[in-house]
């Protein structure tokens, strides 16, 4: 059973460009969350997708947008890249469909984005 897979694993972009990161959730999971982890820090919540809609959003500008497809996979798009967007971007999947406080999130290995 494949876990959460993210692509690409590494990416280098120039300031001002746009980037798309991809995530396939663990089999059977229907919810995808995206996190940004800057060097030396803990992950910061960007947003979560469920039933192809953004369900909740963290404190990130509109340059960060996303999408969830009918097969539950997801994309994270970042426009007008800044140097400060350099980070490890983690995708986490879970099985939602109801309130469950102890829902465990499974993480992928992340995409390391470097903006130069």
Partner 1 sequence: AQKITQTQPGMFVQEKEAVTLDCTYDTSDQSYGLFWYKQPSSGEMIFLIYQGSYDEQNATEGRYSLNFQKARKSANLVISASQLGDSAMYFCAMREDLNNNDMRFGAGTRLTVKP
Which residues bind to partner 1, rule: CB under 8 A?
33, 35, 40-45, 48, 55-56, 58, 88, 90, 92, 99, 101-110, 112
Least separation in angstroms between CB 101 and partner 1:
4
Query: Between 43 and 78, whose beta carbon lies closer to partner 1?
Result: 43
Q: What is the 3-state secondary structure (H, E, C) of 39-96?
A: CCCCCEEEEEEECCEEEEECCCCCCEEEEECCCCCEEEEECCCCHHHCEEEEEEEECC
Least separation in angstroms between CB 95 and partner 1:
13
Query: Between 19 and 90, whose beta carbon lies closer to partner 1?
Result: 90
54-71 as b/e, with b when 16 or more CB fall inside 10 Å?
eeeeeebeeebbbebeee
Query: Between 15 and 48, whose beta carbon lies closer to partner 1?
Result: 48
Query: Between 14 and 102, whose beta carbon lies closer to partner 1?
Result: 102
Tokens 């879970």 found at: 94
Least separation in angstroms between CB 31 and partner 1:
8
Least separation in angstroms between CB 34 and partner 1:
11
In the sheet that holds 64-68, the strands lie side by side as 5-7, 19-24, 74-78, 64-68
């Amino acid at each position: 059973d494949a876990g959460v897979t993210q692509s690409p694993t590494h990416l280098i972009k120039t300031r001002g460009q746009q980037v798309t990161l991809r995530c396939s959730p663990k089999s059977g999971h229907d919810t995808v969350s995206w996190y940004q982890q800057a060097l030396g820090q803990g992950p910061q919540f960007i947003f979560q997708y469920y039933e192809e809609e953004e369900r909740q959003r963290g404190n990130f500008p509109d340059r960060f947008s996303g999408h969830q497809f009918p097969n539950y996979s997801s994309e994270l798009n970042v426009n007008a890249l800044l140097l400060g967007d350099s980070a490890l971007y983690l995708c986490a999947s879970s099985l939602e469909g109801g309130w469950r406080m102890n829902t465990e999130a499974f993480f992928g290995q992340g995409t390391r984005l470097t903006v130069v």
